[in-house]
Amino acid sequence: MVVLGPRYNLKYKFMHALPNKTALFSFFISCLFLVFCGNTQNVKNVSVQEFKALIASGKGIVLDVRSPQEVAQGHIENASVLNFYDDNFESKLAFIQKDKPVYVYCKSGGRSGKAAKLLSKLGQYEVYNLSDGLMAWEKANLPLVAKADIVDEHIKSFSISDFDSLLQVHQKVLVDFHTQWCVPCRKMVPIVAALEVELKEQVFVLRIDLDQSKDLADKYNITSVPTFLLFNNAAEVWRQAGLMTKEALVEQIH
């Protein structure tokens, strides 16, 4: 009988404790796939009735990714509109709130399916794609609304230096980072406009076009729209993303 020494036994246990090379390689490839392709398990293709019910819940953001010409023929009510063929399509997608479900559609489901995968890759936790697109919606005799060309005349673009100069002039500044295509942003416009008038002696209210002020957005790490920042003596003292009530904003300003 051969008796193995303690050193040999230790080596034997160590070698058998190592993971199988094939399994290790498979795990590595899987990690790379998730990193570069994104996890699409949170993307769901749904029927027109499911899509309608999701919208009715009021919990998410409706997104139309058709061309301006198509949108002009009618769209689902309260849909944010981003042209799939826009050169900056993916960068704009990245500014949609990550903590909200997104209900995306196009004409037949092709572009919206690709947009849904992009949203997932960008970190959107819950995405629903309308199977067969607006064709199915219209076939079910569901309503569409005419596109309203809403332009916020008070939205401005700012460079970093211009914004820094403004902070030196006003003690307290409330900044609303938003875009023209974002429906939640447009819903906040009347509230922000009212505060601009009612609290003009207490705070300077500024609406900044994120699409036209990317350097400033990068400096302040703006990752979704709308996002509100409050400055006091040029220092950021508060921020919040998403829809807010007038009372909540007033409370922060005071």
Catalytically active residues, by annotation: 182, 185
One-letter amino acid identity for 6? P
Give the up-direction half-sphere exposure of residue 16: CA atoms within 13 A in the CB hemisphere.
6
CA–CA separation, 138 vs 5, rounded Å? Answer: 79
Is 219 within 8 Å of 158 (Cβ atoms)? Answer: no
Contacts of 157 (CB under 8 A, 6+ apart): 208, 209, 212, 213
CA–CA separation, 14 vs 121, rounded Å? Answer: 39
H or E segment to which residue 205 belongs: strand 204-209
CA–CA separation, 39 vs 36, rounded Å? Answer: 9
Is 66 within 8 Å of 83 (Cβ atoms)? Answer: yes
CA–CA separation, 48 vs 112, rounded Å? Answer: 14
Altogether, the residues listed in the chain come to a count of 254
Residue 187, token pair as written in the block: 């819903």
CA–CA separation, 224 vs 81, rounded Å? Answer: 15
